[in-house]
Amino acid sequence: MNIELQGIGMTSQRTRARLIVRLSEMGIISEDVLSVIMNTPRHIFVDEALASRAYENTALPIGYNQTISQPYIVARMVEVLLAGGHLKNVLEIGTGCGYQTAILAQLADHIYSIERIDALLKKARQKLRLLKCKNVRVKYGDGNKGWSQYAPFDGIIVSAAPVGVPETLLNQLAINGRLVIPVGMVGQQQLLLITRTEDGFDEERLDMVSFVPMLEGIVG
Ligand code: SAH
């Protein structure tokens, strides 16, 4: 493997293994999720100056007032998303640096990801290319609108918090499809799992979380 991707010192396999131990101590049980996190180079998604902290279980700045999500949160959300069984097509809102997108790409058949900050999306595209994530399609746009061309989705995962669940995303969920989304104002957000049934939606309340807000419109 390319040395940049493999990592050395603070980005080495040994450092990553410590993160995996931490995630399992915190309750992540999916072997698939843990092994994909172990094998995905998080350090290439952050600035070089932060690379030595890439395998700490913390969110880190990625510019434009945004952050790469905490590994535990990525693991938790992806585990919840996958708990309903194999996923053919997944919609991700908030590509950010593309880290979670790369994780999803290894666990589901097709990933469609939307980001509203063009500069972030451009960088994410490069990283996803470097990692040869060929089953990912990204789009510059407002995630509140979903991506009707590829709907319905059997999984939707949202990485920024709206104040309420966007109706459009509910409509783009397949029957038995699962939507994992943080909802609420800063300081009082809750992670929700919403499952579409034959005649409506079931809602399960999960952890209290802290995400950047989901905003309207796009930033060029
Ligand atoms: N999973 C990403 C999280 C990035 S932070 C990562 O680990 O890098 C959340 C991202 O959601 C930010 O990049 C922000 O620009 C984006 N975002 C916020 N509102 C959005 C919207 N309406 N549509 C698309 N992306 C949005």
**How far apart, in Å, are the Cα atoms of 100 and each of 74, 106, 125, 138, 171?**
6, 10, 13, 13, 23
Q: How many Å lie between the centroid of ligand 1 and the Cα of residue 108?
A: 20
Cβ < 6 A, ligand 1 pocket: 62, 66-69, 93-94, 96-97, 99-100, 114-117, 120, 142-144, 159-160, 212, 214-215
Instruction: Give 167's contacts (C-beta < 8 A, 6+ positions apart).
Output: none
- Of 116, 118, 145, 209, the one to substitute when testing ligand 1's pocket (max ligand atoms within 8 A of C-beta) is 116
pTM of the predicted structure, to 2 decimals: 0.97
Cβ(86)–Cβ(176) below 8 Å: no
Going by C-alpha positions, the residue among 52, 48, 73 that lies closest to residue 62 is: 48
- pLDDT, tens digit, 9 for 90 and up, residues 15-28: 999 999 999 999 99
Q: Where are the domains of the chain?
A: 61-209
Q: Which CATH code, of 3.30.1330.80, 3.40.50.150, 3.30.420.10, 3.40.50.1820, is assigned to 61-209?
A: 3.40.50.150
Distance 160 CA to ligand 1 centre (A): 5
pLDDT tens-digit profile of 58-113? 999 999 999 999 999 999 999 999 999 999 999 999 999 999 999 999 999 999 99
